Chain A
Amino acid sequence: MAKRIEDLKVIGNKRLNNDFFVLELSGNDKIPDFKPGQFAQVRVDGSPETFLRRPISIHDVDYERNTFKLLIQIAGKGTGALSKLRNGDFLNLIYPLGNSFGLPVENERVLLVGGGCGVAPLLFLGKYLRSNGYIPDILLGFRNSEQIIEFEEYLKIGNVFLTTEDGSKGEKGYVTNHSILLTGRYKRIYCCGPDSMMRAIAGYCKKNNIACEVSLENLMACGIGVCLCCIIDTIKGNLCTCIDGPVFNINELKW
């Protein structure tokens, strides 16, 4: 799929809580056929401290309206500046970038696991799975009930299970402690979240012989396989998260 560099119009900026917001962007031409797991390199102008582009997952796609969404966590000056964008502003993107999650094998029961900003690619993945005939379950982990975002959106896709670290909603603890993992019903897990969460889920999947893909969030400069900064150590040597990933089968990783 050809990569594009474009100025796209912001047509929505919805604040979800203190940390998260969703930008909706309108395509100039017909938006590309995105694959779940892909991302965009977003340019942030206006400050010497936001020099590089920010890699942001494609969160949701609406082909009828020719729009797509980015779920962004305010982590620093770059994402802070993006949170202040208004309808009608333009944002420069290089997209679509990266590989994608693979489809399940027929009749496999699948689970999506996400936490924090890692929930971003899972909404689009869930919708993509639904449109391909799968009804995934979804397990989301947050620090507390106030951090829970877009719960209703995920409910439209499948059963949603929650954990919070303080027990204020769902089961108390981390996603890896949730009781649904004890059922043994899942044959495939897709995971995106903090490094510690993905490693824990990968460990669980390896132990129980469950197919698993994770989406990594390594620091990157270019996003197109040139700078070789976002590397991950794999059984094939160093691979670039931006072009060989961001989605990796856990069997490829040296976790």
Chain B
Amino acid sequence: MVNLGFSIGDLHFKNPVLTASGTFGYGSEFDDFLDVSRLGGIVVKGTTIEPREGNLYPRMAETASGMLNAVGLQNKGIDYFEKNIYPRISGYNTNIIVNINGSYIDDYVALAERINRLEKIPAIELNISCPNVKMGGMAFGTNLDSAREVTRAVRAVYAKKLIVKLSPNVTNVVDFAKVVEEEGADSISLINTLLGMLVDVEKMRPALSTITGGLSGPAIKPIALRMVWQVAKTVRIPVIGIGGIMTTSDALEFFLAGASAVQIGTASFIDPQAPVKILEGIENYLIKKGFSDIKEIIGYINRTT
């Protein structure tokens, strides 16, 4: 038996494979394809105080080894979540994490207070890195003072585990990691999507209604990995690696670079069984290499270089 578990403070995860917000719905969409309860955790779709319709169509474009999206946080709001989705998903035997978003600090605070009361939600992911909304989102995650302020405000009202999801659209991601750690974040997840765009040459106009959108998929993996490596060797709190993980090998790169866990995102669109296949692959790798605990490989490359 290999120990795959990891912890954020006193919150235990049975394994380090989670699903990324916005790519796994509320879990039940995947019931036909895998047993959601096998996963270490699921991060549900980005939630706001009020219902949001998101951006205009077209809000997706395929790119080389990736895709751009400009969904813009379409969701039915916290009231709907609490009443209709929470009762349904709290039956899964895994850690359910809610990704929270807002235009103002007060929105984040109000959401955190609401979710703090939900017994079966042990953690939130503070999204200060959505590139597809006009107000809030990435604006908080690309300014050090704003990142500090929103993390501090949410920490003050939220007693459970606070994960802050960082944007890669900054000059030095490590500065942001340090700031949110100082303000009491329990964990850092990175990266959110990279701001990008695509032009439709036939139609001679941008492919997305919003012109720019967030790039995800294997195209961004080397950048994500570099940022996870930089952050993991700087902060003391656990780092969750996200960005273009399609295969077991991709996930292992993140562990070896210092991530304590990973989130599977865009891969679930192409193979809805990807999270479980990657989980099985990690276990097989550890057995083959003779490790008994995944902790033995976390940050391994830093010991040898």
Contacts and interface: CB of A to CB of B under 8 A. Distances in A.
23 contacts: A2-B32, A5-B271, A5-B272, A5-B273, A43-B271, A48-B64, A48-B65, A51-B62, A51-B217, A52-B62, A52-B270, A221-B69, A221-B269, A222-B23, A222-B268, A224-B29, A226-B268, A227-B23, A228-B22, A229-B59, A229-B60, A232-B57, A237-B53
Contacts of B65: 48, 51
B300 interface: no
A220 B22 CA distance: 14
B33 interface: yes
B270 A43 contact: yes
Interface string B266-282: 10111111000000000
B184 interface: no
A161 B24 CA distance: 45
Given A5-B272, A219-B60, A227-B269, A51 B74 contact: no
B259 interface: no
Nearest to B33: A5
Contacts of A229: 58-60, 69, 71
A23 B198 CA distance: 31
Interface in B33-75: 33, 53-54, 57-67, 69, 71, 74
B138 to A, nearest CB: 18
Contacts of B57: 218, 230-233
Contacts of B61: 219
Given A51-B270, A52-B62, A219-B60, A231 B54 contact: yes
**Chain B interface residue number, banded:** 20 to 34
Given A5-B273, A222-B268, A231-B54, A238 B60 contact: no
B60 A224 contact: no
B25 interface: yes
A246 to B, nearest CB: 14
Given A218-B57, A222-B23, A226-B30, 16 more contacts: A5-B273, A43-B271, A48-B64, A51-B64, A51-B67, A51-B217, A51-B270, A52-B62, A221-B67, A225-B25, A227-B69, A227-B71, A229-B59, A231-B54, A231-B57, A231-B59
Contacts of B30: 224, 226
A244 to B, nearest CB: 13
Interface string A226-255: 111111110001100000000000000000
B62 A226 contact: no
A219 B58 contact: yes
A218 B56 CA distance: 13
Q: At the interface, is chain B mostly helix, strand, loop or mixed?
A: loop
Interface in B65-94: 65-67, 69, 71, 74
Given A218-B57, A233-B57, A238-B53, A226 B32 contact: no
A230 B217 CA distance: 18
A228 B54 contact: yes
Contact of A226 (B54, B64, B269): B269
Interface string B230-261: 00000000000000000000000000000000
6 tightest A-B CB contacts, nearest first: A229-B60, A48-B65, A226-B25, A222-B269, A3-B32, A221-B269
A53 interface: yes
Nearest to A43: B270
B71 A228 contact: yes
Nearest to A238: B53
A93 B44 CA distance: 25
Contacts of A228: 22, 54, 59, 71, 74
A3 B33 contact: yes
Interface string B206-249: 00000000000110000000000000000000000000000000
B195 to A, nearest CB: 17
Nearest to B61: A219
A7 B22 CA distance: 27
